[in-house]
Structure 1
Amino acid sequence: MRLLIVTQYFWPENFRINDLAREFHKRGHAVTVLTGMPNYPSGRFADGYGLTGPYRETYDGIEVIRCPMVLRGSGTRLRLVLNYLSFAAMASIRGLLSSRDRYDLIFVHEPSPLTVCLPAIVIKWLTMAPILLWVLDLWPESLSATGAIRSPRVLNLVERMAQMIYRHCDRILVQSMAFMPHVAQQQVPPDAMRYFPSWAEALYEATTAQLPLPEGVVLPKGFRVMFAGNVGAAQDFATILSAAERLKSRDDIHWIILGDGRMFTWVRQEIDRLRLRKTVHMLGHYPLESMPAFYAQADAMLVTLRRDPIFSLTIPGKVQSYLAAGRPIVAALDGEGARIIQEAGAGCVGPAEDSEALARAVLQMADCAPETRERMGRCAAEYYRTHFERNMLFDRLEGWMQELAHSSLAMKSTPLAGAKG
């Protein structure tokens, strides 16, 4: 199968679409990726990239076509709008110029923004390839929830755009079952939707205490609760820091933050303002390959989201990684993410934006017997194998892709066959 992946984010940016592209290449499919110049989450060009490119390269045997675009910069509203729109425009042009070869299917990775699908629609017009859209973020709901857009008129325009985009897609995958009613509201028929959750890269399943940390990294001794991922507005660091402040007299409890993002500077300033440097440690961003070693040194992993109806529908991607690594989880979130952790018996869950409940959960986890945490970790790993194991999900996705590609090919050939008859 000749597969085109359209995604605004790709290696060396850390997204699961990298793992998906590698796996489908290994399975014998001809994979091409249409993407932007890597600048997430720092807002600056990744090492080795710049205004001069490279605009074509190969990654693990996968052809990568990159587009010039406005960088995220400091993540202001204007810069993000320009970032999203410039990718949509330039990827449409690059897609048309690079689509001399016919594709059997276009797979669109949409963690946000939804505008990433616009180039796919343009390429579909030229190649007649069907589109499979993987929705990881709901628009316009998430824009309203994060306060990125407050104008009802603009939100209405975004909703109309979402309806247009969904209408041009042949199948829509949703990362959470709770997304389905919202996507259906955009006039998508139920038989056009499939549930396809995130998974964890295979390296997480091999987590052991013997893995070495990156050179120069020394973690504090004591109980370590670890957050790994995007340091952004949706992750509600105000609640994390408030909980840490409630427990700062327990200098044996250490909050370790791995990652980068729009709120990184604010979080660091708040740590100083609240005098939490002894117990809250910001280690910055490390490559994906380092994460299992960090996880193995954590006594509990932390996941949080702001309180909002849209976030309650979401399964944060880090949940699958935490489960796969067999680590107990402390959470402050509502809805689907909370349900999964509780159903798995994998940790302690409190409501979103409740710092007192989060502090209690961390305290409970710190003071429980090590055997209890070990049992939670085993439950986490078992739940992951049953519901989110990557090969199982990739087999399912491959089947849907082949079904859609064959169906599209049959539809194209039917009129020609009829003419011959």
Structure 2
Amino acid sequence: MTGAGTVDPAVTRVALISQFFPPEPVPIPLGLTRCLRRQGFEVDVLTGVPNYPTGIVHAGYPHRRPVMDEVDGLRVLRTPLHPSHDRSAVGRAANYLTWAASSTLLGSSLLRTADVALVYSSPATAAAAALTARLRWGIPYVLMVMDLWPDSVFATGFLTRGPARRVAETTLSRFTDLTYRWAEHVTVPSPGLRDTLAARGVPTEKVSVVYNWADEKLMQPTEPDPHLRTRLGLSPDDFVVLYGGNHGPAQDLGVAVAAMGQLRDLTDVHLVLVGDGVSKPALRTAAGELGLRTIHFVDPVAPEHMAAVMAAADIQLVCLADEPLFQITMPSKVQTILACGQPVLSCAPGDAARAVREAGAGFTTAPGNPQQLAQTIRLAHATPRAQLRAMGLAGLDHYRLLMSEGANAQVLAELLAAAAQGGSRSNGKRVRR
């Protein structure tokens, strides 16, 4: 620490608390450590024994004891948990709760040396160790709320009814309220989530929007993949709507498939679905029943090649189901598309659609409505390609101004520095409302 009212990041030690961390395929926590070190902070990591996404502990790691590891030059303390990642409510609850307990009981050696903790709160139970350290030793923490608990738990189909649902909802609500209350500051990845927390009693001055930025080394404007269209039998003049990412219930891609069934007269319009997921077999079946040759399924693409694949299309699709929780969800796909300078076709509710409209980056249509999506595709198809490119550039400008690492890392650094010196409101530094 330095003199009154200032903090020198170079001597401020941050403990990042995240249940998931590489070698698990979770880029955001590792990205946070890198950006904080670029800001001058020293960073340690408290995480779990790696078992995501299979629910099987990765080779070379112990099941039942803590281990000190090194990743990307970081000191990483891994504490044990019940490995699970399936549809079992009991298994998933055990996974979350055992790590909450082990990180709290076994993470003290790392937490007690920190000036401030940063909690990547997905799941919300990841905050248990930080909350305990705050109450026991006065270690302040900044809470990064990635999704809304307990709402998101039940939205995934766990504990949909009965006494167990009521007990879980009450317990989780009280726990999350407690983590908000004891945090020095709370960050959220979307304006809608900020407003929801305020409606639930979290003081507005305590909540800032910190967007999840894209991997800017990979996701940036680039030349198109020269092989994608050829491989799919498409000409340079064909109009390509591309979706890249998970094919799951939340993405509701059946709406896009159904919309293509209403565009039979536009034989040059093609839908390309890149990726995988539990819904992919059903999507293939639905496309086959339509008998269309204008819907194409492509296997997942490595991240380092995805920007070029996107550039080979005319417009990028963002699709989410019409669910209340998704009103306040900002899928990282939005930032990725904007960072690549690509125009967007948003078939999503709430914050995702609002970002596209505010950026002037493309078109929006109501989620869950194939008829409206088909009409919007017709409108995009009729738009000159020069105008589509201009929309993509407008989105890139919007991303750089509000959603980039440069814009958000500084906000996060200021919040951590203020928390480390005793309170996010003590030094009058700028935070984003």
* Offset, 1:399: 1.1
The answer to whether residue 174 in structure 2 is matched with residue 164 in structure 1 is no
CA RMSD of aligned residues (A): 3.3
Q: Which of 245, 266, 269 pairs up with 1:229?
A: 245
Please list the CA deviations of residues 260-286 of structure 1 after superposition, one character each: whole Å capped at 9, or x if unmatched: 4454555455555655676131413x4
Separation in 2 of the partners of 1:218 and 1:37?
41
Separation in 1 of the partners of 2:264 and 2:70?
48
Aligned residues: 406
The aligned residue for residue 202 of structure 2 is 188
Q: Which of 350, 360, 376 pairs up with 1:361?
A: 376
Question: Structure 1 residues 288 and 334 mapped into 2: Cα distance closer, same or farther (>3 Å)?
Answer: same
SS of 1:203's equivalent in the other structure is coil
Aligned counterparts, 1:115-134, within 5 A: 115-134=125-144
Q: Is the 8 A contact 1:95 1:123 kept in 2?
A: no
Q: Is the 8 A contact 1:3 1:105 kept in 2?
A: yes
* Structure 1: 5+ residue stretches without partners: 412-421
Equivalent position amino acid for 1:238 in 2: G
Please list the CA deviations of residues 41-85 of structure 1 after superposition, one character each: whole Å capped at 9, or x if unmatched: 455566876859995432222222334434444434443333322
* Offset, 1:322: 0.8
Please list the CA deviations of residues 12-67 of structure 1 after superposition, one character each: whole Å capped at 9, or x if unmatched: 41332221211212333221122234454455566876859995432222222334
Separation in 1 of the partners of 2:181 and 2:75?
29
SS of 1:399's equivalent in the other structure is helix
Separation in 2 of the partners of 1:325 and 1:256?
18
* Offset, 1:302: 1.2
Question: Structure 1 residues 292 and 268 mapped into 2: Cα distance closer, same or farther (>3 Å)?
Answer: same
* Offset, 1:382: 1.3
SS of 1:206's equivalent in the other structure is coil
The normalised TM-score by structure 1 is 0.84
The aligned residue for residue 83 of structure 1 is 95
Separation in 1 of the partners of 2:62 and 2:294?
38
Aligned counterparts, 1:261-340, within 5 A: 261-264=277-280, 266-268=282-284, 270-271=286-287, 279-284=295-300, 286-340=301-355
The normalised TM-score by structure 2 is 0.82
Aligned counterparts, 1:68-107, within 5 A: 68-96=80-108, 98-99=109-110, 102-107=113-118
Q: Which of 246, 250, 257 pairs up with 2:273?
A: 257
Separation in 2 of the partners of 1:132 and 1:257?
38
Question: Structure 1 residues 303 and 46 mapped into 2: Cα distance closer, same or farther (>3 Å)?
Answer: farther
Question: Structure 1 residues 18 and 229 mapped into 2: Cα distance closer, same or farther (>3 Å)?
Answer: farther
Question: Structure 1 residues 275 and 188 mapped into 2: Cα distance closer, same or farther (>3 Å)?
Answer: same
SS of 2:110's equivalent in the other structure is coil
Q: Which has the higher contact order (CA 8 A, sep 6+)?
A: 2
Q: Is the 8 A contact 1:350 1:361 kept in 2?
A: yes
Question: Structure 1 residues 247 and 58 mapped into 2: Cα distance closer, same or farther (>3 Å)?
Answer: farther
Question: Structure 1 residues 224 and 25 mapped into 2: Cα distance closer, same or farther (>3 Å)?
Answer: same
Separation in 2 of the partners of 1:225 and 1:212?
17
The answer to whether residue 216 in structure 2 is matched with residue 206 in structure 1 is no
SS of 1:199's equivalent in the other structure is coil
Aligned counterparts, 1:376-391, within 5 A: 376-391=391-406
Separation in 1 of the partners of 2:403 and 2:138?
32
Q: Is the 8 A contact 2:84 2:91 kept in 1?
A: yes
Please list the CA deviations of residues 116-153 of structure 1 after superposition, one character each: whole Å capped at 9, or x if unmatched: 21232234345432110111211123334444343362
Q: Is the 8 A contact 2:45 2:75 kept in 1?
A: yes
* Offset, 1:101: 5.0
Q: Is the 8 A contact 1:41 1:262 kept in 2?
A: no
The aligned residue for residue 7 of structure 1 is 18
Q: Which of 31, 34, 43 pairs up with 1:31?
A: 43
The aligned residue for residue 175 of structure 1 is 189
* Offset, 1:312: 1.1
Separation in 1 of the partners of 2:60 and 2:243?
28
Question: Structure 1 residues 233 and 86 mapped into 2: Cα distance closer, same or farther (>3 Å)?
Answer: farther
The aligned residue for residue 139 of structure 1 is 149
Question: Structure 1 residues 237 and 210 mapped into 2: Cα distance closer, same or farther (>3 Å)?
Answer: closer
Q: Is the 8 A contact 2:79 2:107 kept in 1?
A: no
Question: Structure 1 residues 348 and 41 mapped into 2: Cα distance closer, same or farther (>3 Å)?
Answer: farther
The aligned residue for residue 393 of structure 1 is 408
Question: Please, which moves more after superposition, 141-150 or 352-361?
Answer: 141-150
Separation in 2 of the partners of 1:70 and 1:386?
42
Equivalent position amino acid for 2:185 in 1: R
Q: Which of 114, 120, 144 pairs up with 2:124?
A: 114
* Structure 2: 5+ residue stretches without partners: 1-11, 427-433
SS of 1:191's equivalent in the other structure is helix
Question: Please, which moves more after superposition, 371-380 or 76-85?
Answer: 76-85
Question: Structure 1 residues 231 and 77 mapped into 2: Cα distance closer, same or farther (>3 Å)?
Answer: farther
The answer to whether residue 364 in structure 2 is matched with residue 349 in structure 1 is yes
* Offset, 1:304: 1.4
Question: Please, which moves more after superposition, 266-275 or 229-238?
Answer: 266-275
Question: Structure 1 residues 172 and 342 mapped into 2: Cα distance closer, same or farther (>3 Å)?
Answer: same
Q: Is the 8 A contact 1:236 1:304 kept in 2?
A: yes
